[in-house]
Amino acid sequence: MKKTLMFFFFIILCFFTSLNFAKNNSVTSPDNTAASEAGKWYFGGNLGANVWNDYILISAEPMIGYNFSSKFSSGIKAHYSFIKENYKNRENFTYHNFGGSLFMRYSPVPLGYLHAEFAFTNYEHHNYNQLNQKYESERIWVPFVLLGAGYRQPIGPNATAYAEILFDVLQDKNSPFKKWEPIVHVGIAVGF
């Protein structure tokens, strides 16, 4: 647990150091004043649904971010997922998972970006108790360090569609992602 907390504080330190670096290296206009704050904020996220046989998943991941320059942005996300599993010869399970994350994006090319994210998600976990022969529920916090790349395509004056592929490089023992299993996000971000 100490290692997780130390790692979490390291990520936050990197986040605020990056904020300071981006603020000090912001784009300036020809009259030597800082670029307008309008249009630097963006919001969006992902909505998901999966229905297969006796399995239902519904998820939402809103995000808000800030463009510090044309190449660097950072923001936060919230995560929520509802899962229902129905089994014919066993108990049915319902899960409510939630969490949040901090992310940073660097754009070495105009439409592509590199993505780094620290996420902390609370999962509901069911274990079978042999003594009382029942399933018991417990909640566990799982950290993730997601690294990957993405592509964005403008779809309007203030809107962008994006797709990204991320990998969990931390590989916590409770992670639902298998080693090097890609995590694919597709969504829309709108500037304001």
CB neighbour list of residue 90: distance below 8 Å, 6 or more residues apart: none
CA-nearest of 99, 118, 112, 149 to 18 is 118
Tell me which residues of the chain have a pLDDT lower than 50: 1-35
* Residue 26 covered by a domain: no
Assign 191 to helix, strand or coil: strand
* Residue 127 covered by a domain: yes
pLDDT tens per residue, range 172-182: 988 888 778 89
What pLDDT does residue 7 have?
42
pTM over 0.75: no
Task: Give long-range contacts, CB 8 A cutoff, 24+ apart: 164-168.
Answer: 164/113, 164/115, 166/115, 166/117, 168/144
CA-nearest of 161, 157, 77 to 111 is 161
What pLDDT does residue 34 have?
42
Residue showing tokens 């100490």: 2
- Tokens standing for 171? 């590989």
* Residue 154 covered by a domain: yes
* Residue 27 covered by a domain: no
Beta strands in 10-154 (DSSP E): 41-52, 55-67, 72-85, 93-106, 112-129, 134-154
What pLDDT does residue 36 have?
53
Angle at 110 between CA 108 and CA 112, to 5 degrees: 65
Give the amino acid at 104.
M
* Residue 13 covered by a domain: yes
Q: What's the rounded Cα separation, in Å, for the pair 190 and 180?
A: 30
Q: What is the domain count for the chain?
A: 1
- HSE (CB half, 13 Å, CA atoms) of 11? 22
Cβ(88)–Cβ(120) below 8 Å: no
* Residue 31 covered by a domain: no
What pLDDT does residue 37 have?
57
Q: Write the CATH number for 49.
A: 2.40.160.20
Which residues constitute the domain of residue 10?
2-19+38-191
* Residue 24 covered by a domain: no
What pLDDT does residue 177 have?
81
What pLDDT does residue 38 have?
53
* Residue 185 covered by a domain: yes
